[in-house]
């Protein structure tokens, strides 16, 4: 597919999917990012709907998306790779609605290892789908012989070619493993071609032959990178095997990547800049088998810790979390999330924050006051008030049994102030919000904005409209709060105060 796109005159974008993309908000976010990489001004309204705190129904989202893509006149290709990870639910519902009235300019390509749960039969009946299946990709005996001859530079015996075509079921990846093995051995072990030997055994043997022929340094890189879903040169150096000092390696990470390209070692580029790569799924699985065979579970956990460290240092927090959890270190994941979660809150990336929190075991979250505070903010944002009460009670119980930082107390004051406002306790809401405004760190911008707005609301509840408006003016003069999204909140809040008092002329 990537080779075909290189020869196409149409614009194209590529999205690689994984299990987390069954979340509709995340999926449509990646979908729109890919679309806007081709047409920067496309689907602006749909993106605003996705970023809103209240997520629209699938029917509304799909209708809007179809209409906005229909405005694009230039044909383009959008590829969704590894589509087998999409199991069903709202993502499938969205794509089904998209394909029911497909935009003229869009050519959607799905790459997967099983049939998607989409109305393929209906699309087939309407001549709206082109299918390239395993039998179309499979090499026959003649193509196998031609491929082996071309790659090896010498004529291959017809019986050997036929047997390999049968053992690999014409799969080009298996044939490529065979050519690598022959190149290093000089021939192919005839026992592999016997009828009783199954295809999986052939693949394992060929891989072992290829793997054993490489230098120890490159093998260390191969096994270390087996644990990551994508890699670049610096990451390769970071995930050297346990007990190996990266500085002792003769070759650097980018030299390893260059070697993979030169050897045609199942390397798949993930971006146009050739910075990120991954291995073919089969090759990665075989590497993982070797890793588990030769290293202990503890050593593999250490590898995940190295990967987590590197991703965290480079600002790729979700991957850092995943590797911390893969290394069975939920406490480390909790510390990472506590450190970076408030940045997501500031940037209003609430769906991502909720997804990150959902990665952690419940017990881990329940023992961490900072994570409980982050969950409490999400309950406020999504109007889940019973859950808010439960979450705050858990956080308060933890804090009563230990000392904690002042900023967590500030968050709890802000959250309790909101609860008291909902309970029409104006004095309590005002007192808590005032304490929050003093205690919250300046960099925790979103929580401070919320505390000021709640403080203004409490003044209004107590009949102190002038003080309410003065509170908003005070917040707008704060250099850390006066611009960007915060400005919009502060400008809208006086209107809310006037509306509560039925002062419609002031609202105008």
Instruction: Please report the DSSP string for 124-179 in residue order.
Output: HHTT------HHHHS--HHHHHHHHHHHHSSPPPHHHHHHHHHHTTT-HHHHHHHH
Q: What domain count does the chain have?
A: 4
Encode pLDDT of 63-111 as tens digits: 999 999 999 999 999 999 989 999 878 999 999 999 988 899 999 999 9
Q: In the chain, helix, strand, coil percent, each to 5?
A: 65, 5, 30
203 and 220 fall within a common domain: no
CA distance 503 to 451: 24
**Which tens digit of pLDDT belongs to each residue from 38-62?**
999 999 999 988 887 778 899 999 9
Pair 339, 484 in one domain: yes
Kind plus residue range of the DSSP H or E element containing 206? helix 199-212
What is the model's pTM? 0.77
Same domain, 429 and 442: yes
Tell which of 102, 132, 162 closes a domain.
132
Q: Is the dihedral of CA 143, 145, 148, 152 positive or negative?
A: negative
Lowest mean pLDDT: which of 48-52, 332-336, 352-356?
A: 48-52
Token duo for residue 492: 């809208």
| Cα separation, 104 vs 75, whole angstroms | 8
Banded model confidence at residue 211, pLDDT cuts 50, 70, 90: confident
Q: Which CATH number fits the domain that encloses residue 282?
A: 1.10.10
H or E, element range at 468: helix 465-477
* The last residue of a domain, from among 288, 311, 328: 328
Average pLDDT over residues 239-252: 65
For 29, residues 6+ apart whose C-beta sits below 8 A from its C-beta are 50
Give how far the C-alpha of residue 35 lies from the chain's centroid of Cα atoms, to the nearest Å: 17
Torsion of CA 484, 488, 491, 494, to 10 degrees: -140
The full length of the chain comes to: 508
Burial class of residue 382, CB neighbours in 10 A (0-12, 13-18, 19+): middle
**Cβ-based neighbour number of residue 184 at 10 Å:** 13
DSSP letter assigned to residue 11: E
Same domain membership, residue 352 and residue 317 = no
* Residue at a domain's end among 310, 328, 346: 328
485 falls in which pLDDT band (50, 70, 90)?
Answer: low
| 12's tokens | 């194209």
**Residues 411, 498 within the same domain:** yes
Separation CA 506–CA 319 (nearest Å) = 50
Same domain, 353 and 394: yes
> What percentage of the chain exceeds 90 in pLDDT?
44
Q: What strands lie across the sheet with 76-81, from one edge to the other?
A: 11-16, 76-81, 106-110
Q: Could you tell me which of 263, 215, 256 has the C-alpha nearest to residue 234?
A: 256
Q: Do both 322 and 350 map to the same domain?
A: no
User: Picking from 306-320, 327-341, 354-368, 474-488, which range would have the lowest pLDDT averaged per residue?
Assistant: 474-488
pLDDT at 373: 93
Kindly state the average pLDDT of the residues 206-211: 74
* Dihedral sign of CA atoms 247, 249, 250, 251 in order: negative
Q: Residue 326's pLDDT is what?
A: 94
- What percent of the chain is predicted at pLDDT more than 70? 92
* pLDDT score of 309 more than 90: yes
Contact 78, 110 (CB under 8 A): no
Q: Which residue has the higher pLDDT, 245 or 470?
A: 470
236 and 97 in a common domain: no
Residues 348 and 203 in one domain: no
The answer to whether residues 369 and 285 belong to one domain is no
Calculate the alpha carbon distances from 492 to 460, 472, 495, 500 in Å.
15, 10, 5, 13
If asked whether residues 348 and 480 sit together in one domain, one would say: yes
Q: What stretches of 314-405 show up as alpha helix (H) in DSSP?
A: 317-326, 330-346, 350-359, 362-366, 369-381, 385-400
Q: How far apart are CA 436 and CA 420, in angstroms?
A: 13
Task: Check if the beta carbon of residue 455 is closer than 8 Å to that of residue 433.
Answer: yes
- pLDDT, position 247: 56
What is the C-alpha to C-alpha distance for residues 307 and 314, in angstroms, rounded to an integer?
11
More confident residue, 180 or 321: 321
The answer to whether residues 163 and 299 belong to one domain is: no
Range of the domain at 264: 216-328
- Band of the pLDDT at 248, cuts 50, 70, 90? low
């Amino acid at each position: 597919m990537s080779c075909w796109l290189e020869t196409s005159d149409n614009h194209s974008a590529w999205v690689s999917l994984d299990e987390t993309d069954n979340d509709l908000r995340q999926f449509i976010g990646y979908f729109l990012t890919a679309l806007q990489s081709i047409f920067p001004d496309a689907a602006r309204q749909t993106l605003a709907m996705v970023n809103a705190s209240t997520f629209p129904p699938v029917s509304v989202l799909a209708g809007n998306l179809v209409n906005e893509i229909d405005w694009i006149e230039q044909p383009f290709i959008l590829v969704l790779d590894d589509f087998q990870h999409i199991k069903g639910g709202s993502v499938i519902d969205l794509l089904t609605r998209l394909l029911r009235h497909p935009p003229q300019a869009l050519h959607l390509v799905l790459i997967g290892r099983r049939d998607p749960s989409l109305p393929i039969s209906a699309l087939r009946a309407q001549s709206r789908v082109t299918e390239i299946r395993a039998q179309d990709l499979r090499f026959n005996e003649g193509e196998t012989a031609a491929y082996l001859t071309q790659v090896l530079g010498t004529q291959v015996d017809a019986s050997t070619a036929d047997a390999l075509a049968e053992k690999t079921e014409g799969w080009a990846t298996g044939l490529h493993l065979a050519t690598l093995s022959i190149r290093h051995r000089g021939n192919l072990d005839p026992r592999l071609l016997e009828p009783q030997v199954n295809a999986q055994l052939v693949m394992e043997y060929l891989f072992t032959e290829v793997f054993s022929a490489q230098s120890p340094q490159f093998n260390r890189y191969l096994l270390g990178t087996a644990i990551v879903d994508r890699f670049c040169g610096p990451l390769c150096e970071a995930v050297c095997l346990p007990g190996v000092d990266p500085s002792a390696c003769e070759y650097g990470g980018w030299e390893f990547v260059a070697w993979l390209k030169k050897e045609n070692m199942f390397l798949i580029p993930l971006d146009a800049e050739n910075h990120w790569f991954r291995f073919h799924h089969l090759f990665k699985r075989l590497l993982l088998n070797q890793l588990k065979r030769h290293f202990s579970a503890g050593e593999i956990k250490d590898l995940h810790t190295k990967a987590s460290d590197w991703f965290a240092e480079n600002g790729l927090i979700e991957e850092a979390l995943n590797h911390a959890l893969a290394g069975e270190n939920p406490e480390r994941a909790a510390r990472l999330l506590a450190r970076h979660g408030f940045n997501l809150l500031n940037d209003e990336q609430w769906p991502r924050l909720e997804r990150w929190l959902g990665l952690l075991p419940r017990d881990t979250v329940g023992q961490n006051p900072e994570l409980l505070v982050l969950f409490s903010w999400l309950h406020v944002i999504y109007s889940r008030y019973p859950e808010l009460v439960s979450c705050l009670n858990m956080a308060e119980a933890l804090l009563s049994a230990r000392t904690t930082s002042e900023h967590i107390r500030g968050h709890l004051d802000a959250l309790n102030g909101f609860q008291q406002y909902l309970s029409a306790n104006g004095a309590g809401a005002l007192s808590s919000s005032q304490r929050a405004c003093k205690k919250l760190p300046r960099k925790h911008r979103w929580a401070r904005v919320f505390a000021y707005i709640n403080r203004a609301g409490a003044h209004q509840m107590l009949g102190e409209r002038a003080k309410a408006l003065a509170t908003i003016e005070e917040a707008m003069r704060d250099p850390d709060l006066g611009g960007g999204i915060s400005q919009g909140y502060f400008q809208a809040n006086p209107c809310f105060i006037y509306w509560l008092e039925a002062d419609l002329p002031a609202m105008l």
